[in-house]
Amino acid sequence: MPTEPPYETLDPADWGALRALAHRMVDDALDYVQNVRERPVWQPTPPDVAAHFTEPAPRAPAGAEAAYADFRSNILPYPMGNLHPRFWGWYMGAGTVMGALGDFLAAIMNPNLGGGNHVANLVEAQVIDWLKDLLGFPAEASGLLVSGGSMANFVGLAVARSAQAGFDVRAQGMRAAPQPLTVYASTEVHSCNQKAVELLGLGTQALRKLPVTADFTLNLDALRAALAADRAAGMRPIAVIGSAGTVNTGAIDDLTALADLCRQEGLWFHVDGAIGAVAMLADNVRPLLRGIERADSVALDLHKWLHVPFEAGGVLVRHADAHRRTFSLTPEYLAHEARGLAAGSRWFSDLGLQLTRNFRALKVWLSVKEHGLDRFGRMIARNVQQAHYLGELIAADPALELLAPIGMDIVCFRYNPGGRDDATLSALNKEILMLVQERGIAAPSYTTLNDRYCLRVAIANHRSVAADFDLLVQSVTQIGREVAPQFP
């Protein structure tokens, strides 16, 4: 018989030593979160540390202790910063410890959520049922957990295309389309929707980006006119995308009016709720989201206002058959059985692109079990109140200027001491933002509204308190006075 090679495994040689290291890692991690306020919000990675990540992969083992020491020295001190209570950039949740532990436990179990007869599928199914109940969707609706809003919007629009195209897109491809297909949204629609339209073969020009009103919501008159013009030109409108919280200002389109229009026009009504859909939990936002329960599909993010650690998004589809027809493909090696490991009626690989899917449902499930939905709702409501508090601080300072209505929890403003045109003010405010971030004070982001650059504060952080916004305003005005002479 041939000689068997020496036995090797990836399990630890000394379980006791790894257990001790693991306990230290957990203690360090808890200290890191507990003391987050004591650190700068953000700091750049020094060049010598950055150079560390150009080294080739090691061929020989360094061991767990050395690998962890490397992490503590060269990775942990230089985060994005979104755990910090004064991180308000882009739109991100601040994470929770239980969510992080859920990721750890999911990785320990390490199942593939493509399908099969194991408990992880039941957990994801329950989380989807919770989301359907939250948004007022029927129990028979379909759903899928995905990486985030980008993939959620892609899935929803893919189902819309298949259901509304008027021919078999999967079998024939887009070249068989008898008419060009068109999709409608406001100019404030998130860019991931454009990517989805492009990747679905419709092309950039098929996404009609329509004007907004003064509050940055979709102009319904412009939508009606565009639909009529496109039909007259031989196009086939298939879907309207409503925003439940735009990325720039947090504006919520009139979802009830859009639902009515889509029903009248025979269109698929998709809602990009990545920012605001979970605000159905908040008493002071829920009335603004009326109509979301009538959507044909909704994209939502759980790593934003539910603070589940990245990645955690979801999509709900009212028409389960249409969802399954868009993605289901069962070759012989994935045949569903009546018994054994390949049994079970829920195969999530039938509802999206991925066959290989991680157990992201567990961290959602644990977070909801730990805190209950009502607590999340109260924190969302508090963030909205904090946005209006910041708006009051801005209104009280003659050197600050609010540039858009406050949409949910997003505040857009700029430093404006007077005597400067918009181009100069844009350059001045960009420098203020850079210094606020580089000094580790706070991390708002930025956007441009009506050709005016502004600081954008997206308050989706469960650790923020009123004093954090006081400090932001004080810092912006102080730095503004400091650098204004450079921008005459």
Q: Which of 78, 100, 130 is the last residue of a domain?
A: 78
266 shares a domain with 129: yes
Does residue 87 lie in a domain region? no
- DSSP state, residue 189: S
Both 269 and 405 in one domain: the answer is no
Confidence at residue 1, expressed as pLDDT on a 0 to 100 scale: 67
> Do residue 452 and residue 354 come from a single domain?
no
Instruction: Please count the other Cβ atoms lying within 10 Å of the Cβ belonging to residue 75.
Output: 13
Same-domain check for residues 200 and 285 = yes
**In this structure, is residue 99 part of a structural domain?**
no
Residue 2 has pLDDT above 90, yes or no: no
| Structural domain includes residue 105 | no
Task: Decide which of 358, 382, 407 is a domain's last residue.
Answer: 358
Whether 185 contacts 211, CB under 8 Å: no
Rounded to an integer, the average pLDDT of 364-368 is: 98
Q: What is the pLDDT of residues 111-136, one digit of tens each?
A: 998 888 889 999 999 999 999 999 99
User: Do 353 and 389 have their domain in common?
Assistant: no
Per the structure block, which two tokens stand in for 80?
A: 């994005």
Using the predicted structure, report yes or no on whether residue 48 has a pLDDT greater than 90: yes
Is residue 104 assigned to a domain?
no
What is the rounded distance in angstroms from the CA atom of residue 185 to the CA atom of residue 183?
7
| Tokens 């698929």 belong to residue | 268
Residue 10, in any domain of the structure: no
Signed CA dihedral, 103, 109, 115, 118: sign only:
negative
Q: Which domain holds residue 447?
A: 374-486
Q: Give the chain's domain count.
A: 3
For residue 166, tell me if it sits in a domain: yes
Same domain, 217 and 275: yes
- Together in a domain, 306 and 392: no
**262, pLDDT greater than 70:** yes
Q: Is residue 6 part of a domain?
A: no
Q: 301 φ, ψ to 5°?
A: -115, 130
Give the CA-trace dihedral at 407, 152, 269, 131, to 10 degrees: -80
Q: Residue range 341-366: average pLDDT?
A: 90
SS3 for 355? coil
Q: What is the pLDDT of residues 173-188, one digit of tens each?
A: 999 999 999 999 999 9
Residues 183 and 298 reside in one and the same domain: yes
**Is residue 199 pLDDT above 80, yes or no?**
yes
Q: Give the pLDDT mean for 196-219.
A: 97
Mean pLDDT value of segment 251-259:
98
Name residue 112's amino acid. Answer: N
Do 51 and 177 lie in a common domain?
Answer: no
- Alpha-carbon distance of 47 to 216, in angstroms, equals 41
Residues 440 and 347 in one domain: no
Q: Is the pLDDT reported for residue 332 higher than 70?
A: no
Q: 125 and 51, same structural domain?
A: no
pLDDT at residue 429, rounded to an integer: 98
Whether residue 194 is predicted with pLDDT greater than 90 in this model: the reply is yes
Domain check: are 246 and 274 in the same one? yes
Contact 255, 271 (CB under 8 A): yes
299 is a domain residue: yes
**Averaged pLDDT for residues 407-422:** 96
Retrieve residue 75's tokens: 């990775």
Look at residues 358, 390, 418 and tell me which one is the last residue of a structural domain.
358
pLDDT tens digits for range 7-41: 899 999 999 999 999 999 999 999 999 999 999 99
Question: Average pLDDT in the 369-377 region?
Answer: 97
In this structure, are residues 217 and 244 in contact, taking their beta carbons and an 8 Å threshold? no
Q: Calculate Rg over the CA atoms of the chain.
A: 25
More reliable by pLDDT, 150 or 342: 150
What count of other Cβ atoms lies within 10 Å of the Cβ of residue 411?
30
- CATH code at position 193: 3.40.640.10
pLDDT, the chain, mean = 95
Average pLDDT for 388-416: 97
CATH code assigned at 386: 3.90.1150.170
> Residue 418's pLDDT is what?
93
